[in-house]
A = this chain, B = another copy of it.
Amino acid sequence: MEPVARWEPDSRGRLGRAALELFAERGFDDTTVEEIAAHAGVSERTFFRHFADKREVLFAGSGNLQTLLVDAVIAAPRTASPMEAVAAALESTGPFFEERRDFARQRQAVITANAELRERELIKMATLASTLADALRQRGVKEPAASLTAEAGIAVFRVAFERWITDSQRRGLSRVIRESLAALRAVTAEA
């Protein structure tokens, strides 16, 4: 006889998958936390032990992206200008998302369909910008250059990500990021 563990392992992972599946099927509002928990075979209380709130289950992985970006900014050559460092960091996320394209699409569709989820996504992006600004200051960049570079960089990422997700020509994310940054440079130079 296998010694049966008291609980199935990875309840957190099961909760995450159940949530995305149910949100995609019936929508965020029409899915209760109790249903997600039941689908994952745990109690509602356990859901809230793993995720601070119902929305957070879709954003638990955002720490990875943050680490990726910050590390890349820090690793950029000393000679790189602030915007060059941020640009390099953004482009370096290409493979990360390229590997998870289907997941990213489904998740993004769920988020786009719900205002509360869009709110949460925005604050994650803002946190990202703030962390990026910190990393730039560590490189010796002063204010307001650090904040503005970070904010502009995130704006570029958002625009590029949306274009990538909906791009019928399936251009690579890194490439779309490069093109979007060039477009930003063009409009700011015109002012």
Question: Interface of A with B (CB < 8 Å)?
Answer: 81-84, 87, 115, 118-120, 122-123, 126, 144-145, 147-149, 151-152, 155-156, 158-159, 163, 180-181, 183-191
Contacts and interface: CB of A to CB of B under 8 A. Distances in A.
A151 B145 contact: no
Among A81, A82, A120, A191, the most chain B Cβ lie within 10 Å of the Cβ of: A191
Contacts of A181: 191
How many monomers of this protein are in the complex? 2
A126 B123 CA distance: 11
A74 B189 CA distance: 21
A154 to B, nearest CB: 8
A159 B148 CA distance: 7
Given A144-B159, A144-B180, A163-B144, A152 B83 contact: no
B187 A82 contact: yes
The 9 lowest CB-CB distance pairs between A and B, nearest first, are A83-B191, A151-B155, A122-B122, A81-B190, A119-B119, A188-B188, A119-B123, A149-B187, A148-B184
A125 to B, nearest CB: 8
A159 B118 CA distance: 22
A103 to B, nearest CB: 24
A72 B122 CA distance: 26
A183 B145 CA distance: 6
Among A81, A82, A148, A159, the most chain B Cβ lie within 10 Å of the Cβ of: A148
A115 to B, nearest CB: 7
A185 B186 contact: no
